[in-house]
Amino acid sequence: MRIINAVAPIRICDNGGWTDTWFAGWGKIFNIAVAPYAEVQIAVFARMDDKPHITIHAENYGDAYSPSGQAGWERHPLLEAAIARVGVAEETAVTITIFSQAPAGAGTGTSAAVTVALLAALDWLAGGRMSPREVAYAAHAVETEMLGQQCGIQDQLAAAYGGINLIDMFHYPQAVVTQLELPDALWWELERRLALVYLGRPHRSSAVHEMVIRGLENAGPDHPTLNKLRHTAEPAWQALATGDFAAMGTAMKHNTALQAELHEALVSPEARQVMAIAGAHGALGWKVNGAGGSGGSLTLLCGDNSAAKQTMLREIEQENVSFQTIPITLSRQGLRVWESS
């Protein structure tokens, strides 16, 4: 038996989100890769008559099954499509276990991180031909081409590269990724100041998102708010490069205001509750992660007082029993794949 492992980070604080899409055409996105990671493990066996070809353990859903191999997707289309894209040799049986401590639908690119890790592990089994960048684009193709979903490029690239990224999408979906190198003390200070708050229910595509997308695609790449969103990535990047946390917080808040400008429902009442509490406790900024809408999560950038941060987080969780602080650490590394000895 062989054991192949892969992990990939999720991402937070995606300034410039919505501009990494086909209807934007071009854009600039800033994001930060963090743990908890999406984790994939593949146990590989010689195939026997009584052994299923492929067994999937989707741990977050408490679900284990063997796809029938018939046409169409069954219980977890994203996982099944990723497996179909790379394939598993007929003479091999695999048990694939997938897990993430980040809730699905948090707006932090968890599904993209899962897909990146799964494709990389399957590619390792097949001989390991793809670079992390190629894995990211294959993961994007799984969602857009194989499943026909609306999907930008930033989540997959963050999962593949890790770190703090400025993504310059010069022509959809092609992009240049530049990574910010910070001194250790500034990296640690950023990590101490950041917090991720889950709003208690998964973000799901909704009629609001579909309406916003229709409006954006009808207006084309020069939509006024898309143009404004494109210009929120570099201020966040420059603020961190100089250690200016106040400017970083301002960039985050400006991006969230622009999300509400696309449609007020993209910044939910629950998100506004958290933002109000954060502001009362001296937080410098907040960013509704991902596209926004009901559910999902926020990234908070706190001030320099650790006691104020902890008081703030306790008050947020007391405000609504569904609100949950998700512990995070910054991830200098992106996708990692290895085989257990």
Closest CA to 231 of 27, 70, 46: 27
Could you tell me the residue range of the domain that residue 174 belongs to?
A: 2-182+331-339
Give pLDDT tens digits for 97-145. Answer: 999 988 888 999 999 999 999 999 999 999 988 999 999 999 999 999 9
- Would you give the DSSP letter of residue 325? E
pLDDT at 206: 67
The three-class DSSP label of residue 207 is helix
> Residues 141, 264: one domain?
no
pLDDT at 72: 84
- Residue 20 sits in a domain whose CATH number is 3.30.230.10
Instruction: Pull the structure tokens for residue 168.
Output: 């310059």
* DSSP per residue, 84-123: HHH---TTEEEEEEEEESSPTTSSSSHHHHHHHHHHHHHH
> Residues 198, 167: one domain?
no
> Residues 67, 140: one domain?
yes
Q: How many CA atoms lie within 13 A of 169 on its CB side?
A: 27
> Residues 243, 324: one domain?
yes
Torsion of CA 145, 146, 152, 156, to 10 degrees: -120
Interatomic CA distance for residues 143 and 149, integer angstroms = 6
pLDDT at 103: 86
Pairing of strands 194-198, 92-100: unpaired
Closest CA to 317 of 283, 268, 270, 265: 270
Interatomic CA distance for residues 293 and 13, integer angstroms = 15
> Residues 166, 23: one domain?
yes
Low-confidence ranges of the chain (pLDDT < 50): none
> Residues 155, 76: one domain?
yes
Single-letter amino acid code for the residue at 17: G
Q: For 262-266, which contacts have Cβ atoms below 8 Å and span 24 or more sequence positions?
A: 262/18, 262/212, 262/216, 262/225, 263/208, 263/211, 263/212, 265/208, 265/293, 265/294, 266/208, 266/212, 266/291, 266/292, 266/293
pLDDT at 205: 63
> Residues 217, 319: one domain?
yes
> Residues 163, 249: one domain?
no
> Residues 134, 273: one domain?
no
> Residues 221, 176: one domain?
no
> Residues 169, 288: one domain?
no
Cα-to-chain-centroid distance, residue 200 = 17
> Residues 272, 138: one domain?
no
Q: How many domains does the chain have?
A: 2
- Residue 283 sits in a domain whose CATH number is 3.30.70.890
The pTM of the full predicted model, rounded to 2 decimals, is 0.96
